Structure formats: C-alpha cells, structure tokens
Structure 1
Amino acid sequence: MKKAVMAYIGSLLGFLLLDAIWLGLVAKNSYIQAMQGLMREDVHVWPWVVFYSLYCMAIVYLVVLPRKDSDSGRPVLAAGAVLGAAAYGAYNMTNYALLAGWPLGISLQDWAWGTVVTSLSSYCGWRLARR
C-alpha cells in the first residue's frame, strides 16, 4: 500500500509540475491563439482537480504498480507513453471529429504532449515508489 501511495504522489507531483510548465509557459500562447473563440472567461478549476486525481490513479494502477519491481525505468516510460497516447488521442481526436472550430494543430500538439507527460509522470511515480 505504501508503494501505491508513493507512486501516486510521485506521479501527481510530476504531472502537475510538468503540465504547469507546459500550459503556463511553453504552449500557453499557442493554445490561447488556436482556441480563442472556444475558451471560457471564467475557468472552472474542479474539472482539472477531477482529471489530475483520476488520471494519476490510472497511471499508478495501469503503469507503475505492474512494473514496480522492474530494474529499469524503460518499461515504465514505454507503458506510460502508450497510456498517454491512448488517453490524449481519444480526447483530441474525438474533439476534432465532433467540435466545429477545434483546431487539428492543437489536437496533434496536445496528443504528443499527453504522450510525453504521461510517460514522464509514470517514471516519477515509479522512482518515488522504489525509494
């Protein structure tokens, strides 16, 4: 149980830090520019809390715990990338298919980012669980 909690904390902290850098600094302007007419004036925070909480639970359950005894982080990084590609691909391609004005460029950028951030967050959780 302790390993699962540590894996969750590591994954969540890694995800929050990386996503804050991505959304707050690196890609902020491209998201704002591409989705100008789609963005809310008043951002709802609770959906982010729900997403980050549940998604990091999925990372721990599907990626970290099955590989907790691995001597290498490579399988964790690879499995995290697969989970990220599947989850973010489903989200972005569904939005692109259904929502008028949803930009393909942002979908592809976000899909790639979701693959990377899930992989790295999985690794963070794995590393902390192994301590």
Structure 2
Amino acid sequence: MQYLVAYIATAVVFLGIDYVWLAHVSRGFYAERLGHLLMEKPNMAAAAGFYAIYVVGIVIFAVAPALRTGSLSTALIYGGLFGFFAYATYDMTNFATLKDWPPSVVMVDVLWGTVLTGVSACLGTYLTRLAIS
C-alpha cells in the first residue's frame, strides 16, 4: 500500500509541475528551437505511457530508498540523479542522431529533468510519509 501511495503522490507532483513548465513557462523556448519537429497536437497516449513508466522509476530509484532511510535528502539526490541520467540519455541521443537538435535544448532539458525529478521525488516522499503516518 505504501508504494501505491508513493506512486500516486509522486505522479501528482511530477505531472503538476511538468504541466506548468511545458504549458506556460517553456512553451516558447521549445517552439522556437524545435517547432519544425513538433506535432500540432502531442500524442497523448505516448505521453501517458512515458509519465506512467517514468514515475515508477522515480519511486523505485528515489522515493523507496528515501522511505527506507527516512531522509528527504535521499529522495532529492537520488531523484535528481535519476532525472539527470534519464533526460541526458534522451537529449544526448537526439543531439547525436537528429539534425538541428540545439545544444541549448540539451542543456535546458537536462537541467529541467534533474530539478523536476529531484523535487518530485522529495515531495512525493514527504506526501507519502504524511499519508501513511
């Protein structure tokens, strides 16, 4: 039950923060640099699949260890590292294989993935501890 609560809490935090980032904060940044590659409407099924799988990774690699140790800093650090490696893999692969993949997108996206995942793991851990105590 603890891991289901952790999954839901982490998913709500991750989706909420990422929605604000994608829909409001960085919309112009990505459109300016990747507009020629973007679809008119995102493939929501693929996006849902990413979010569902990615949050499992956050719980396994950051939230669960933090719940075991009782340390929010564990969640923040492990979450940040998980985000860094996952987003760097995506962006560096695109940079290596796609024409016109901007270095600025690599830097911003990897930084965003690191911060977003670390914060989501930390808040997901905090909310899980609140809910199960």
With the length of structure 1 as denominator, give the TM-score of the two structures: 0.94
Can you give the 5+ residue segments of structure 1 that lack an aligned partner in the other structure? Answer: none
Q: Report the counterpart of residue 15 of structure 2 in structure 1.
A: 16
Q: Give the length in aligned residue pairs.
A: 130
Q: Is the 8 A contact 2:76 2:121 kept in 1?
A: yes
C-alpha displacement of 1:60: 0.6
With the length of structure 2 as denominator, give the TM-score of the two structures: 0.93
Q: Report the counterpart of residue 25 of structure 1 in structure 2.
A: 24
SS of residue matched to 2:110? helix
SS of residue matched to 1:40? coil
Q: Percent identity?
A: 33
SS of residue matched to 1:38? coil
Kindly provide the CA deviation profile for residues 78-98 of structure 1, in whole angstroms up to 9, marking residues without a partner as x.
010000000000000000010
Kindly provide the CA deviation profile for residues 96-116 of structure 1, in whole angstroms up to 9, marking residues without a partner as x.
010001111011101100000
| Correspondence 1:55 to 2:54 | yes
Can you give the 5+ residue segments of structure 2 that lack an aligned partner in the other structure? Answer: none
Kindly provide the CA deviation profile for residues 9-64 of structure 1, in whole angstroms up to 9, marking residues without a partner as x.
11100111110111111111000010111111232111110000000011111111
* Mapping for residues 114-125 of structure 1, pairs under 5 Å: 114-125=113-124
Q: Report the counterpart of residue 6 of structure 1 in structure 2.
A: 5
- RMSD over aligned CA atoms reads 1.0
Whose relative contact order is higher, 1 or 2, with alpha carbons under 8 Å and at least 6 apart? 1
Q: Where do 4+ consecutive residues of structure 1 move more than 2 Å?
A: 69-72
Q: Report the counterpart of residue 38 of structure 2 in structure 1.
A: 39
Q: 1:64 to 1:36 in 2, by over 3 A?
A: same
